Structure 1
Amino acid sequence: MDGRGTRGVSLRGWGGVAAMAVACALTAVFALLLPLTQRAGTGGDGSTGYGSGGVADGTQAAAKDCDPKVKDKEPERSLNPASGSDDGDAVRAIKDRGYLSVGVDQNSYRWGYRDPNSEAKTAELEGFDIDLAREMADRILGDPTKVHFHAIPTNQRIPAIQRDEVDMVVRTMTISCDRLEQVDFSTAYFQTGQQVLAPKTSKITGYDESLADKRICTAKGSTAEKALGDDKTAKKLPASTDISTTVPNQLDCLVRLQLGEVDAVVTDGALAASQAAQDPTVELKGKPFTEEYYGIAMKKGSDDLVRRVNGALEDYREDGGWQKSYDKWLKPALGASSGPPAPKYK
Structure 2
Amino acid sequence: MRARRLRAGLRGWGGVGAMAAVCALALAWILLLPLARPHGAGGAPAGDGGQTARATQARAGSCTDADAQNRSLPPSAAEGATVRAIKERGYLSVGVDQNSYRWGYLNPNNASGALEGFDIDLAHRIARDLLGDADKVQFRAIPTNERVPAIRSGRVDMVVRTMTITCDRLEQVAFSAPYFLTGQQVLAPRTSAVTGYDGSLAGRRICSAEGSTAYDHLSADKKSGRLPASTDISTTVPNQLDCLVRLQLGECDAVVTDGALAASQAAQDPTVALKGDTFTREYYGVAMKLGADDLVRRVNRVLEDYRKDGGWKASYDKWLSPTLGKDSESATPPAASYR
Alignment TM-score > 0.5, same fold: yes
The yes-or-no answer on 1:194 pairing with 2:187 is: no
The yes-or-no answer on 1:26 pairing with 2:24 is: yes
Where in structure 2 are there 5+ consecutive unaligned residues? 1-10, 35-41
The yes-or-no answer on 1:63 pairing with 2:60 is: yes
Please give the secondary structure, in 2, of the residue aligned with 1:265: strand
Please give the secondary structure, in 2, of the residue aligned with 1:229: helix
2:86 corresponding residue in structure 1: 94
Please give the secondary structure, in 2, of the residue aligned with 1:206: coil
How high is the sequence identity, in percent, across the aligned residues?
A: 64
2:257 corresponding residue in structure 1: 267
2:44 corresponding residue in structure 1: 39
How far 1:135 sits from its partner (Å)? 0.3
How far 1:25 sits from its partner (Å)? 3.9
Q: Is the contact made by 1:76 and 1:187 (CA closer than 8 Å) also made in structure 2?
A: yes
Cα distance change of structure 1 residues 89 and 68 upon mapping to structure 2, 3 Å threshold = same
Q: Please, which of 221, 236, 248 is the counterpart of residue 226 of structure 2?
A: 236
The yes-or-no answer on 1:103 pairing with 2:103 is: no
Q: Please, which of 160, 165, 186 is the counterpart of residue 155 of structure 2?
A: 165
Taking the aligned partners of 2:299 and 2:287, their CA distance within structure 1 comes to: 10
How far 1:270 sits from its partner (Å)? 0.2
* TM-score where L is the length of structure 2: 0.89
Where in structure 1 are there 5+ consecutive unaligned residues? 1-14, 45-52
How far 1:266 sits from its partner (Å)? 0.2
Cα distance change of structure 1 residues 189 and 265 upon mapping to structure 2, 3 Å threshold = same
Taking the aligned partners of 1:38 and 1:240, their CA distance within structure 2 comes to: 49
Q: Is the contact made by 1:38 and 1:163 (CA closer than 8 Å) also made in structure 2?
A: no
Q: Is the contact made by 2:188 and 2:253 (CA closer than 8 Å) also made in structure 1?
A: yes
Taking the aligned partners of 1:247 and 1:126, their CA distance within structure 2 comes to: 23
Please give the secondary structure, in 2, of the residue aligned with 1:243: strand
2:19 maps to amino acid: A
1:8 corresponding residue in structure 2: none
How far 1:30 sits from its partner (Å)? 3.8
Query: Residues 1-346 of structure 1: matches in 2 within 5 Å?
Result: 17=13, 20-26=18-24, 29-30=27-28, 32-35=30-33, 39-40=44-45, 42=47, 53-69=50-66, 73-81=67-75, 84-120=76-112, 123-337=113-327, 338-346=331-339
Taking the aligned partners of 2:28 and 2:188, their CA distance within structure 1 comes to: 25
Please give the secondary structure, in 2, of the residue aligned with 1:101: strand
Taking the aligned partners of 2:212 and 2:246, their CA distance within structure 1 comes to: 17
1:48 corresponding residue in structure 2: none
More off after superposition, 141-150 vs 111-120 = 111-120
Taking the aligned partners of 2:47 and 2:278, their CA distance within structure 1 comes to: 40
* TM-score where L is the length of structure 1: 0.87
1:93 maps to amino acid: A
Taking the aligned partners of 1:185 and 1:20, their CA distance within structure 2 comes to: 34
Taking the aligned partners of 1:114 and 1:326, their CA distance within structure 2 comes to: 18
How far 1:219 sits from its partner (Å)? 0.3
How far 1:34 sits from its partner (Å)? 4.0
Taking the aligned partners of 1:119 and 1:189, their CA distance within structure 2 comes to: 30
Q: Is the contact made by 1:75 and 1:180 (CA closer than 8 Å) also made in structure 2?
A: no
Cα distance change of structure 1 residues 40 and 161 upon mapping to structure 2, 3 Å threshold = closer
Superimposed CA distance per residue, residues 229-258 of structure 1 (whole angstroms, 9 cap, x where no aligned partner): 000111111000000000000000000000
Taking the aligned partners of 2:43 and 2:220, their CA distance within structure 1 comes to: 35
How far 1:26 sits from its partner (Å)? 1.9
Measured on the aligned residues, the alpha-carbon RMSD in Å equals 1.8
Please give the secondary structure, in 2, of the residue aligned with 1:33: helix
Cα distance change of structure 1 residues 41 and 112 upon mapping to structure 2, 3 Å threshold = closer
Please give the secondary structure, in 2, of the residue aligned with 1:78: coil
Please give the secondary structure, in 1, of the residue aligned with 2:233: strand
2:256 maps to amino acid: V
Superimposed CA distance per residue, residues 141-191 of structure 1 (whole angstroms, 9 cap, x where no aligned partner): 111000000001000000000010100000000000000000000000000
1:49 corresponding residue in structure 2: none
Superimposed CA distance per residue, residues 23-82 of structure 1 (whole angstroms, 9 cap, x where no aligned partner): 2342651452345785155586xxxxxxxx44232421211221134xxx534431111x
Q: Is the contact made by 1:27 and 1:107 (CA closer than 8 Å) also made in structure 2?
A: no
